[in-house]
Amino acid sequence: MEKRRIQVLSPGRVNLLGEHVDKYGGIVLPAAIDRAILLTAESHNEQVLRLHALDLGHKVEINLNEIEKKVDILGNPLPTWARYPAGVAWSLRQDGFKITGVDCEFRSDIPIGAGLSSSAALEVAFAVLWQELGGWSMDRPTLAQYSQKAEVEYVGVNCGLMDQFACANGEKDSVVLLDTRNLEHRSIPLPKDIAIVIADSTVRHNLVTSAYNDRVNDCQKALEVIQQKHPNVKALRDVSPKMLEASKSLIPENAYKHASHVVGEIQRVDVAIDCLEKGDTRSFGKIMLETHASLRDLYEVSCQELDQMVEIASGFDGCYGARLTGAGFGGCTVNLVELSKAREFADFLAGEYKQKTGINLPVFITHASSGAHIV
């Protein structure tokens, strides 16, 4: 087989609205961003995957014929970062797709663990790489599903499809409307006079996974109570605020609060889609602030740092909306800002936060970008 050298650019993503609803059949509005992983790979004839994470300074070699063992070529357990590309190889091979041995190196300017889907970007990058090398045909929604399967079944993170879908299907200057119930999707153009500004709290709490699972379990409890009265209800997507309120006395307090966020967020997204299509940025931004309050008070996944950042941002003339994005308990806020004031806003937010906390706040101006592609 002739050796080939390929580069893939795979973006991170930010979710503008629809937070913590993809596990419950809701609609989400993510955008791929112009922060990305650059993967450089050269194919060869050995069934070996050689990985070099340039930012970490780590290297791993994996026997592709023993990929299910989750060990390197010497029998050591794979480090977490290496499980993402290895998982994609495993996921694709399970259905008979040809996976070529490759020597790879990659670097990224997506902050790790910040809720901007650096792991999904890595998975999608390798899926695109092996599709190009294998010459097999696959649409992008299916490619995203194989990438998600890698994370859920190989890495062991019980994530929804939104992250991989946005990284694979993003469109320049647009958000992706994804209905997580049936995978119907379309792009909605963003107004030309706005920027997406992301601020990284640099806070990383270890309780994110356990807290996430607790909330999923709570929402399931609330759903089961409602299903006793409404057997046709399949998911929280089907539950109206009125139905939830009618069962309040039968649902444990925490489960009711957490389910209230999901039901309310699904309703907010419906309104926000209409705002976006009409170019009503101000109303869309107001809904972002409402979502942050719901994530803080009902779903209970915010933290002091994120609340301060949103409070500062909302006091800036030219910031339409701000909220935490991603799993919560740290990570980033996303801010929708008038394009002509984006740099001024970034300096304002960092300066005010530094004055209040003494902490240097990384803030970067981004734009909606294309999904993963060969460069």
Given a cut of 60, is residue 262 above it in pLDDT? Answer: yes
Q: Model confidence at 100, in pLDDT bands (50, 70, 90)?
A: very high
Residues 207, 290, single domain; the answer is: yes
Residues 6 or more apart in contact with residue 257 via CB below 8 angstroms: 298, 299, 300
Which residue range is the domain that position 321 belongs to?
A: 194-366
Establish whether 163 is a catalytic residue: yes
Q: Domain check: are 318 and 182 in the same one?
A: no
CB contact at 8 A, 187 and 276: no
Nearest CA-CA partner of 251 in 223, 277, 280, 232: 223
Measure CA 45 to chain center: 34
- Domain membership flag for residue 212: yes
Classify residue 235 by its DSSP letter: S
In this predicted model, what pLDDT tens digit does every residue of 238-252 receive, in sequence order?
Answer: 999 999 999 999 999
Residue 137 in any domain: the answer is yes
Tens of pLDDT, residues 40-94 = 999 999 999 999 999 999 999 999 999 999 999 999 999 999 999 999 999 999 9
Name the pLDDT band for 23 (thresholds 50, 70, 90).
confident
Which is the catalytic residue, given 22, 103, 163, 200?
163
% of the chain beyond a pLDDT of 70: 98
pLDDT of residue 159: 80
| Residue 206 in this model has a pLDDT that exceeds 80 | no
Contact 37, 9 (CB under 8 A): yes
pLDDT at residue 1, as a whole number: 61
Q: Is the per-residue pLDDT at 208 higher than 60?
A: no
Quote the tokens at residue 245: 């309120």
**Residue 252: predicted pLDDT:** 96
375 assigned to some structural domain: no
C-beta separation of 78 from 61 below 8 A? no
Q: How confident is the model at residue 274 (pLDDT cuts 50, 70, 90)?
A: very high
More confident residue, 222 or 114: 222
Residues 246 and 97 in one domain: no
Whether 173 contacts 190, CB under 8 Å: yes
pLDDT bracket for residue 3 (50, 70, 90): confident
Domain identity same for 349 and 259: yes
Any domain includes 257: yes
Name the band, by pLDDT with cuts 50, 70 and 90, for residue 205.
low
Please give the pLDDT value at position 266: 97
Residue where a domain stops, chosen among 173, 189, 205: 189
The tally of domains found in the chain comes to 2
Please give the mean pLDDT across all residues of the chain.
94
Among the candidates 151, 170, 189, a domain finishes at 189
Same domain, 183 and 149: yes
Average confidence (pLDDT) over 281-285: 97
Please give the Cα distance from 115 to 332 (Å, whole number). Answer: 6
When pLDDT is averaged across residues 152-161 and rounded to a whole number, the result is 86
pLDDT band at 207 (very low <50, low <70, confident <90, very high): low
Whichever domain contains 289, its CATH number is: 3.30.70.890
Residue 105 lies in a domain: yes
Examine the pLDDT at 113 and tell me if it is beyond 80.
Answer: no
Distance (Å, whole) CA 64 – CA 362:
39
Which residue has tokens 């993402």? 84
Any domain includes 205? yes
What is the pTM for the complete model shown?
0.92
